[in-house]
A and B are shown apart, each in its own frame.
Chain A
Amino acid sequence: MNAVGLNITWIIFMPILVIIIGLFYLGAARKITARIQNRYGPPIYQNIIDVIKLFSKKNPTNHGVMFSLGPVMAFSGMLISLLFIPIGNKALLSFNGDIIVLLYLLVIAPLGMALGVGEGGNPMGTIGIARALTLMLGYEVVLVISIISVILYTGSASFMEIIKMQSGGVGHWFIWPLFLSALAMDMALQGMLGEKPFDQPVAPHEVASGPMVEFGGKYLGLLQLYHAIGIVVETGIFVNLFLGGGTLFWWFVKSFAVFFVALLINAVMPRFRIGQAFAFFWTYPAAIGLIGLILVAILK
């Protein structure tokens, strides 16, 4: 009975916790980027203020039903993906094959955005979402290759099992035996997070913040929350597969460390053209991932 009660609390509490921590990640990102650029930077809770402000705005423009459903779909798609990510050794949904289900669910969010943007009818938004989907085509291949090599290595497609196999200290983490796959996945992660060499979809100077161009007020607020969850989910995949999960505290520390690496690259890199980004994903990271996969297949 007690365990059931605990589970229910966790179900309600976890998304809120993840959203707040994700917003703090975004705030920290702004602060760290500012420090790297020799600025003082906004307070670390700035993104929480932004979200409060966005939700208190009055009558933002609405272009139709699908326009308002788009952000909702993106947000809820990310929320569903969150159920499959074990946080602090606790997954709400866990079975053999949940990694593969997660790969499918991750696509819901950009597609929801695409529907909403389509109704908005702004050419900037259309270019942005076309770039986002092209980029996705690039990094998904790398992501799948490195996930397959983990599945091949462990013989299991369940996050919980993989985490269990990595228990017992730093030496047992899969980042050591599967170093090449981890490297490829980290490159793909840079694209998933939309950090600098791969921030073509939202480039403010080229396409006026891309898919978000028509969204304002509460719609933009929802998209901010979606972004906050997205960071935790995407870094969470890496933490669970290669860095051995961990208790609640250590899980978030590891996930922030992964995000921090992405941030540092973000702060010093210029932006690729979309064609260059696509070509990059299908050459170096894909090659590294494939070599990793072949090594796993041979040495196993």
Chain B
Amino acid sequence: MTKAKPPKGLKGWAQGRSLWMLHFCTGCGAIEMPPTMTSRYDMERFGITPMATPRQADLLLITGYLTVKTLKRVIRSYEQMPEPKYVVGFGSCTVNGGMYWDSYNTIKRLDLYLPIDLYIAGCMPRPEAIIDGFTELIEGIKKGKFDGWIRYKENLEYYKRNQAMVMDIRKWSLDAELAERIWNEVQEERRKRFERATVKHVYELAERIPEGLPK
């Protein structure tokens, strides 16, 4: 089997010059998208237009923090997009959790779950930074530099395992059998760890009781 490669030449050029974007406006960073799209910064001049459905999109833009619940929707949308497809993480929240670094229900590092091609850092990044990021993305795509979807397919097991740590990945995943298997493994592992923890805890308690008893 030959290794899949990102498009180059005419195809790569067309892909770079016409990026249709599915912007997943989950976090507060999304508020910087309207100025980037409208009169002042106008990103349509680079051929970047928002699209309504993942079937038509080339670029998944994730604007900010993701709760575990939303992550599932994001991954489902990502898997429905036709190849070649690109993911851009937008804002510090996607890099390392940002100001939600100790939150109990958001994910901290997006690249554990999805193959990120480019980060635009900042909390929130200004439209200039967004445009700068997009121009870099366009230049990179023209040269065939970004290959996120290929990495995702090759390391599907890694990504699926990470996803299974935080949510139920059965029934909708790209490779249903693999997802089922990984889900069961992760569950098994979890049960064992829990059992071990409980047993240890009981022993510890039992040891401690005599000491704690009043004389």
Residues of B close to A50: CB separation below 8 A: 14, 18, 47
Question: Which stretch from A32-40, A104-112, A149-157, A238-246 is at the chain B interface?
Answer: A32-40
B38 at the interface (CB under 8 A from A): yes
Inter-chain contact A59/B7, CB cutoff 8 Å = no
Inter-chain contact B82/A58, CB cutoff 8 Å = yes
A-side interface residues, number (CB < 8 Å): 32
Inter-chain contact B18/A39, CB cutoff 8 Å = no
Interface magnitude class on chain B? 20 to 34
Interface residues of A (CB under 8 A from B): 30, 34, 37-43, 46, 49-50, 52-53, 56-61, 124, 204-205, 208-209, 212-217, 220
Inter-chain contact A56/B15, CB cutoff 8 Å = yes
Residues of B close to A208: CB separation below 8 A: 52-53
A226 vs chain B, min Cβ distance (A):
15
Inter-chain contact B56/A209, CB cutoff 8 Å = yes
B196 at the interface (CB under 8 A from A): no
Q: In the assembly, what is the distance between CA of A263 and CA of B53, in Å?
A: 25
Interface residues of B (CB under 8 A from A): 7, 10-11, 14-15, 17-18, 38-39, 42, 44-47, 50-53, 55-56, 58, 80-84
B215 vs chain A, min Cβ distance (A):
73
Q: Given A52-B10, A56-B14, A216-B55, do A42 and B44 touch, yes or no (CB 8 Å)? A: yes
Q: In the assembly, what is the distance between CA of A52 and CA of B81, in Å?
A: 18
Pick the contact of B45: A42, A124, A216 (CB < 8 A).
A42
Residues of A close to B18: CB separation below 8 A: 46, 49-50, 52-53
B52 vs chain A, min Cβ distance (A):
4
Q: In the assembly, what is the distance between CA of A256 and CA of B17, in Å?
A: 26
Residues of A close to B14: CB separation below 8 A: 49-50, 52-53, 56
Residues of B close to A59: CB separation below 8 A: 82-83
- In addition to A39-B42, A40-B42, A208-B53, 20 A-B residue pairs with Cβ atoms within 8 Å of each other are A39-B39, A40-B45, A46-B17, A49-B18, A50-B18, A56-B10, A56-B14, A56-B15, A57-B84, A58-B82, A60-B55, A60-B82, A61-B55, A209-B53, A209-B56, A213-B52, A214-B55, A216-B55, A216-B56, A220-B55
